[in-house]
Amino acid sequence: MTERVAARRHAGVVRVTHWLIALAFVALLVTGVEILLSHPRFYWGEAGNVNMRPLFTLPVPSSRDTVPTGYKYVLPDQNGWSRYLHFEAAWVVVLCGLVYGVWGFLSGHFRRELFSGAQGGRLRFREVVGKSLRWEPVEDEGAYNVAQRWSYVGVIFGLIPLMIWTGLAMSPSFTAAAPWSVELLGGRQSARTIHFFATWVLVLFVMAHVAMVVHAGLRKKMRGMITGGAAVAEGPLRIEEQV
């Protein structure tokens, strides 16, 4: 029992970086929407402006009177603090991601908890998703079930790096130093459009993630991610040496 309890604990690095990134995500989303409102049009390729044909236009009002939206009013310009906070929060994600990433490789966290298909449990992907959709309990061995492993790997190694990459590909100074970063994406406006769609995928992930936490027991899971101890009740079973 003691072994199991220990295996289910989230390490301090995971807990701290998880919550900092969660906070930064909220800030990035709110400010991202705010920045987007100054030009709710998207293009493909290198350049794009109101004189050029958009790929698509969002049916929302704008904070600039130069953008034709069909609305008769213009929203207040909030780009000053929005842009400041957007990049500050992005730094939080980058720095936490570096700490978590280096620790994850060195400690074997990625190998053990994310890439270990063999010891990761007996349920198949379809079974986990099916049970979750029917709101049935998903009991499985290992730290994460197969659906969790797939989505966490996708977000940690795919989506978040893609967000950072497409964000940097919009930076005129960064692309000056690394032109390939924007050329590989097909241009500055393509980078912006991919950044927008990747945001939606991340939002969907967070919604599913929160729903699963609620499903698995909000109190228990929140305690696990905040204090790290998933099994306060089993306290007496723990035997730990004096240091």
Query: Angle at which helices 188-226 and 146-153 pack, to 10 degrees?
Result: 140
Burial class (CB in 10 A: 0-12, 13-18, 19+), 18: middle
Spatial contact of 113 and 144, defined as CB atoms under 8 Å apart: yes
Cα dihedral 168→173→176→182 (10° resolution): 20
Tell me how far apart the alpha carbons of residues 96 and 102 are, in angstroms, rounded to a whole number.
Answer: 10
Closest CA to 147 of 184, 173, 167, 117: 117
- Indicate whether 51 belongs to the interface with other proteins (CB under 8 A): yes
Residue choice 6, 26, 50, 226 for contact with other proteins (CB under 8 A) = 50
CB nearer to other proteins: give 129 or 164. 164
Options 30-38, 99-107, 115-123, 150-158: segment touching other proteins (CB under 8 A): 30-38
Residue choice 79, 107, 116, 151 for contact with other proteins (CB under 8 A) = 79
Site string for other proteins, 1-20 (x = CB under 8 A): -----------x--------
Q: Which of residues 83-102 bind other proteins (CB under 8 A)?
A: 83-85, 87-91
Tell me how far apart the alpha carbons of residues 197 and 201 are, in angstroms, rounded to a whole number.
Answer: 7
Site string for other proteins, 152-181 (x = CB under 8 A): ------------------xxxxxxxx-x--
CB nearer to other proteins: give 155 or 182. 182
Least spacing, CB of residue 137 vs other proteins, in Å: 31
CB under 8 Å to 32, separation ≥6 — which residues? 86, 199
Residue type present at position 62: S
Options 78-86, 98-106, 126-134, 203-211: segment touching other proteins (CB under 8 A): 78-86
CB nearer to other proteins: give 146 or 169. 169
CB nearer to other proteins: give 151 or 175. 175
Tell me how far apart the alpha carbons of residues 190 and 170 are, in angstroms, rounded to a whole number.
Answer: 10
- CA 109: distance to chain centroid? 18
Options 148-156, 182-190, 197-205, 216-224: segment touching other proteins (CB under 8 A): 182-190
Spatial contact of 199 and 32, defined as CB atoms under 8 Å apart: yes
Residues that bind other proteins (CB under 8 A): 12, 35-36, 38-39, 41, 46-52, 64, 66, 79-81, 83-85, 87-91, 170-177, 179, 182, 188-189, 192, 240, 242-243
